[in-house]
Structure 1
Amino acid sequence: MKAVILILLSLFSIFIKAQEKTKDTLFFTYDSKYIKAHIEIPNHFYIKDGSGYMDGTFHFVKAKVLENQTVKLKEVCLKKFVHSSKFYDKNRKRRLDDYALWEYLKNYTIVLVKRTEDRKEYIQVEPSFEIE
C-alpha cells in the first residue's frame, strides 16, 4: 500500500512540473548612458527613467552571467522599449510607472547584452521594484 501511495505521489509531482510555464526571454542592449550601476550596490542596475526612491523605483538585480549564446539573438534597445510602452508618459511629472513595468517584466526572463572590447557579456537579471 505504501508503495502505491509513493508511486502516485511521484506521478503527481511529475504532472505538476509539466504544467509549469516557461518564460519567454527578452534580450536588451546594455547602454551605460541609460542603465546605471552604483559602486555601493554593483549587482543592481537602475534605469535613467526610474521614478526615484520616494515613489518606489524599478531596477534589475543581477542573477548570473551566462555563457556566450550560440543562437543569433535579436537585441532590443531598453530605452526605446520603455519609451514606447504603456508604462511611460512623457507628459506626466512622474513619467514612468515603475510598478507597472515591474509587473509586466516579471513574467519574462531578462538578459542584458553588454558589449566589451572584443566580446559580448550576457547578464541574466531579474526585474525588481522597491520603496525605500
Structure 2
Amino acid sequence: MRRTPYRGRRSLPADYDETVRRNVREQDDDARPAIKGRLPSLDGYDTVLLGSPIWNVRAPMIMTTFAEQLDFRGRTVVPFTTHAMSGLGTTARDYARSCLGARIAPGLAVRGEEVADADTDIQTWLRERGLAGS
C-alpha cells in the first residue's frame, strides 16, 4: 500500500468537476493531505463523532489523515455523512482501519439535498446512540 502526501494544489478548487478530479487523484494515490494546525487530544472522550461528506463512495482522504494521527483506543467512533447517492459509503470499513482500537458504531447518512429536512432523523439517530436527551 502506498501512502503519499498530497502534493497537488494547496487551495480547494472552486469548480465541482475539478474537486471531483482532485478527490479521485487523492484516493488513487492513497494520499494523506496535510492538516494545518494541531490536532486535539481525545482524552476525556469515550465517543467521537466523525462527520464528512462522501466523495466517490468514501470520506475525503483528509479524514484518514485525521484518524491516523489520533489515539482512538477504547473509544467508540460514530460516523455521519452527507452524500449524493452512496450513503455511508465505505466509512465503517475505512474508520475500522484508521481509528485503531476503536469500536465503530452504526452511522448516519443524509442526502445532501435533504439536510434541511433531516432534523427528526438526526435526533432519532442521536437518541438511539445515547447521544441526545429524550
Give TM class, smaller chain.
Answer: under 0.3
For the pair shown, the structure with the greater C-alpha radius of gyration is 1
Q: TM-score, normalised by structure 1?
A: 0.22
| Structure with the higher fraction of residues in helix conformation | 2
Q: TM-score, normalised by structure 2?
A: 0.22
| Structure with the higher fraction of residues in strand conformation | 1
